[in-house]
Amino acid sequence: MCLNEKKDAIMKILEQFIAPKTGRESDCEDGYVLTDYFAAVVDGATSKHMQAVNNATPGRTAMLLICRGIESLDQDVSAREAFKKLDHAIYAWYQQQGTSDVMKDAPSRRCSASAVVYSRMRRELWFIGDCQGMVDGHLVSPRWRIDEVMANLRSLLIHTELAQGVTEAQLLEHDTSRVYISDLLKRQMYLQNRVCTSEYNYYVLDGFLPYDEERAVQVVAVPGDAAELVLSSDGYPAIYPTLDETERALARLLEEDPLCYRVFKSTKGKYQGFDSYDDRCFLHLDIAAI
C-alpha cells in the first residue's frame, strides 16, 4: 500500500514494489509513503496472536497508522521527535479502542512495526527495527541479536526433525519448528522496547517506545552528492541497487532453501500456497535533483 504518492513529488520514484506473502493484498503488512519531505518503508510485525480489528491484523494496523502519521510530520523534524509522534499515533489508537492498559502488560498483542524513513531536509536515513536501506549501492541493514538467536533456534529444530525422518516437503505443509518456537516468539516481546541492559533488547514502533533510549533509533547521514536510495522491508534477505537484482536473489534463495533454515535462516519459511516467507516492499528513489 502506498499513501500520498504525488506525481509532482520532489523525490522521484524509479521503482516500487509491494507483494504480500499470501498473495492477498488485504493481508499485506508492508507499505510505503512518499511526500515532498519524506520517503519511508514501513513493515508491520507478524502478529503472535491471530486477532484482527476492522479486518486488519495488528501489523497492518500499525503500518497504516505510521504511514498516515508520516504525512503530517513537520518538514524539519528530528528522527527522535518523528518516531515519538508516530509511536504516539499507535498509543492513541489503543486509547480509542479502550485497550491501552491491556497492551501495556501484553506486548505480544500490540500493533508493532519497523520503519526506515528518509528525511529530505536533514539528508538522513532513520531506522527503527529491521528495515533496510541503501545509499548509492552502500547497504545499511540494522539487525537485532534476538532475531539471529530465534532464527538459529528454528534452524536447529528443523535439523532435529529431518534427523527423525521428517521431510522438507512435510515441513512446508506443517512447520513444527514454528510451532515449537511460537511461545518463545511471544516471550521475546517482553524485551521489546525495554530500557534495561541486555544484548537481546530490540526496539519497534508499538505505542510504548522509550523515546530517550539511545539504541532505539539509528540515524545515518546521506551524502550531499548521493544520487539514489533504496528502502525496503526485511521481506528481502538481501537488497541490491535495482528491483530486478533483488527479486532475482530472492527467487534463487526460495528455490534453494524454501524453508529458510540453511542458506538464509529465518523464523518462518515459504509455506505451501505462499509467494514468499514474508511480505516485501521495495522503494527505489532518485534524489539527485534535490
What is the rounded distance in angstroms from the CA atom of residue 145 to the CA atom of residue 199? 7
CB atoms within 10 A of CB 78: 15
What is the rounded distance in angstroms from the CA atom of residue 82 to the CA atom of residue 97? 23
Looking at residue 52, its pLDDT comes to 52
What is the rounded distance in angstroms from the CA atom of residue 3 to the CA atom of residue 204? 21
Residue among 65, 48, 47 nearest 57 (CA): 47
Q: Which three cell numbers stand for residue 83?
A: 518516531
pLDDT tens digit at each of 290 positions of the chain: 555 444 444 789 999 999 999 998 988 999 999 999 999 999 999 876 555 556 689 999 999 999 999 999 999 999 999 999 999 999 999 999 999 999 999 998 999 999 999 999 999 999 999 999 999 999 998 889 999 999 999 999 999 999 999 999 999 999 999 999 999 999 999 999 988 778 999 999 999 999 888 889 999 999 999 999 999 999 999 999 999 999 999 999 999 999 999 999 999 999 999 999 999 999 999 998 64
280: β partners: 19
Its pTM stands at 0.92
Cα 196 → chain centroid:
23
Residue among 84, 77, 80, 47 nearest 62 (CA): 47
What is the rounded distance in angstroms from the CA atom of residue 270 to the CA atom of residue 259? 6
Cα 61 → chain centroid:
13
Looking at residue 51, its pLDDT comes to 57
**Domains of the chain by range and CATH?**
2-286 (3.60.40.10)
| HEC sequence for the chain | CEECCCCCCCCEEEEEEEECCCCCHHHCCEEEEECCCEEEEEEECCCCCCCCECCECHHHHHHHHHHHHHHCCCCCCCHHHHHHHHHHHHHHHHHHHCCHHHHHHCHHHCCCEEEEEEECCCCEEEEECCCEEEECCEEECCCCHHHHHHHHHHHHHHHHHHHCCCCHHHHHHCCHHHHHHHHHHHHHHHHECCCCCCCCCECCECCCCCCCCCCCCEEEECCCCCCEEEEECCCCCCCCCCHHHHHHHHHHHHHHCCCCCCCCCCCCCCCCCCCCCCCEEEEEEECCCC
Looking at residue 5, its pLDDT comes to 46
